[in-house]
Amino acid sequence: MPPTPRKRLWAVLPAALALTLAACGGTGTGAGAGAGDTPASGAAPADLTKALDTPVTLTFWTWVPNLDKTVALFEQRYPNVKVNVVNAGQSADEYTKLQTAMKAGTGGPDVAQVEFFALPQFALAKQLVKLDDYGVASLRPKYTASAWSQVNFAGGVYGFPQDTGPMVMFYRKDILDRLGLQPPKTWQNFADAAEKIHADDPRNFISSIDPGDAGGVDSLLWQAGSRPFQTVTPTQASVNLKDAGAAAWSALWSDLLRRKLVDPVPGWTNEWWQGMGSGRYAMWITGAWAPGSMSTTIPKTAGKWRVAPMPQWKAGDQVTAENGGSADVVLTTSKNKTAAVAFAQWLNSDPVAVKSLSDNGLFPATTGLLADPAFLDAPNSLFGDQRPNKIFAESSARVGTGWQYLPFQVYANSVFKDTAGQPISTGSDLAAGLTAWQRRIVEYGEQQGFQVTSG
């Protein structure tokens, strides 16, 4: 899922209205139909399947469109289980409701979609069922390494990876061809291409950078080798937005912004999509989930786009990062935890389910599907004759290891626009913005009782 999906509000107004309505109606109940619940300790996979033979009703919060189709497959397979799919809003909107329901102790769902960056926060507050108690460790080989590491927090597994966003570079072949440019292999190539594109027509840019999107910058830092957020123990964290990777990123992008070679505007707005459709932007470096949104929002550009690996900091490297992605978690307030775990596990590991999720636009988190020739060779008319999934899968395998989020990343990301976003929009020194961001994060962490060390 895109890192800031609420911005889609601006893409289509009617959709925004529908979303608001859906959000208003989003009150699920966790009350099940009386299936006795096994206490969370050592339930073996056999018990999980058994839980699905008992009549039970589960509530599932997700904002993925068409996910009810996959859920329908589940209900066919396990007719005793009824799953209410509720759209409780996207991303932060859902977390607000989830937070409130958890605080109230009732009204929350059994299973909820939570983005990777928000998972530690809910896990720390003991609001998520620790899945190790249900014997899910055996699932590890089924998922990509980076997806699995992102559902881990402080030595426990707290979610089933639902989708991921390995970073790639989408570029307009027609624009690059016209200017005689090759898709940039390194960030230096990227800067050179940026200069040529802007010189050709000062209204055009190689790409944009969103001053409000912490997730986008996190991903670029991740690929640059920066590991700014570390959770040492559940109560000890460290923040270092001044490490070598962060310095390299801010030097390059400060320069691009100062020379006005990239456009510092928020993404996902009406104007931004217009720009994507009209050739104002020649590239979009983001997660592999993007093609779905592109096909529906800018269908007229179909065939003009191509995919390439993202630019590298050192020629010859093949390092990538993730952007977005989410997991399905089971809430501790659920009255049917075993059935909820079994459902979430089926949804995100059964081959039928992951195929259905992928068909509905989610980029897979499972290695099985990522190695499936039928998946890898699937064409996509957005990219002409290219088979994009191959490049996506390669990116997925090359994600830099060791990235972590803070147990209060939701807040940290929310104040990105107040701090690091400022120099992005004014074109001044990004390193100073990152330092300001770090200060706000550390201050908050200490207020919340964490021991925070900073770089």
Partner 1 sequence: MSTFSPSAPPGDVRARAPGTVRGVHGLLFFTPFLLVFLVAIAAPLLYAVYLSFFQDRLVGGVTFVGLDNYRRALTDGLFHAGLLRVALFLAVQVPVMLGVALLAALAIDSGRLRFPGVFRIGFFIPYAVPSVVAALMWGYLYGRRFGLVGDIGGWLGTTLPDPLGRSWMLASIGNVVTWEYMGYNMLILYAALRAIPGELYEACQMDGAGEIRKAWSIKIPALRKALLLATVFSIIGSFQLFNEPNVLQSLAPSVVTTSYTPNMYAYNLAFNGQQFNYSAALAVVLGAITAIIAFTTQGSANRSGRSR
Nearer to partner 1, 99 or 386 (CB): 99
Looking at the Cβ atoms of 231 and 395, the one nearer to partner 1 is 231
CB 197 within 8 A of CB 179: yes
Kindly tell me which of 29 and 96 has the beta carbon lying closer to partner 1: 96
Q: Is residue 130 a contact partner of residue 272, using CB atoms and an 8 Å limit?
A: no
* Residue 11 phi, psi dihedral angles, 5° rounding: -70, -45
Only one of the segments 39-47, 88-96, 364-372, 385-393 lies at the binding site for partner 1 (rule: CB under 8 A); that segment is 88-96
- Interface residue with partner 1, options 149, 188, 230, 235 (CB under 8 A): 235
Binding mask 89-128 for partner 1 (x = CB under 8 A): ---x--xx--x---x-----------------x--xx---
12 binds partner 1 (CB under 8 A): no
17: contact with partner 1 by CB under 8 A: yes
Find the part of the chain contacting partner 1 (CB under 8 A) among 137-145, 265-273, 299-307, 343-351: 265-273
Only segment of 24-32, 215-223, 241-249, 266-274 that touches partner 1 (CB under 8 A): 266-274
Phi, psi of 267 (to 5 degrees): -80, 170
Check binding of 415 to partner 1 (CB under 8 A): yes
Nearer to partner 1, 127 or 367 (CB): 127
Looking at the Cβ atoms of 93 and 163, the one nearer to partner 1 is: 93
7 binding partner 1? (CB under 8 A)? yes
**Residue 11 touching partner 1 (CB under 8 A):** no
Q: Which of 274, 296, 318, 381 binds partner 1 (CB under 8 A)?
A: 274
CB of residue 264 vs partner 1: minimum separation in angstroms?
8
Q: Pick the binder of partner 1 from 30, 107, 266, 291 (CB under 8 A).
A: 266
Q: Is 418 in the site for partner 1 (CB under 8 A)?
A: yes
Nearest distance in Å: CB 198, partner 1: 16
* CB closer to partner 1, 148 vs 450: 450
202 is a contact residue toward partner 1 (CB under 8 A): no
- Figure out which of the listed residues 15, 20, 178, 455 binds partner 1, where binding follows CB under 8 A: 20
| # binding residues, partner 1 (CB under 8 A) | 47
Q: Which is nearer to partner 1, 378 or 415 (CB)?
A: 415
For partner 1, the binding residues (CB under 8 A) are 6-7, 9-10, 13, 16-17, 20, 92, 95-96, 99, 103, 121, 124-125, 210-213, 234-235, 266, 268-271, 274-275, 407-408, 410-411, 414-415, 417-418, 421-422, 424-426, 444, 447-450
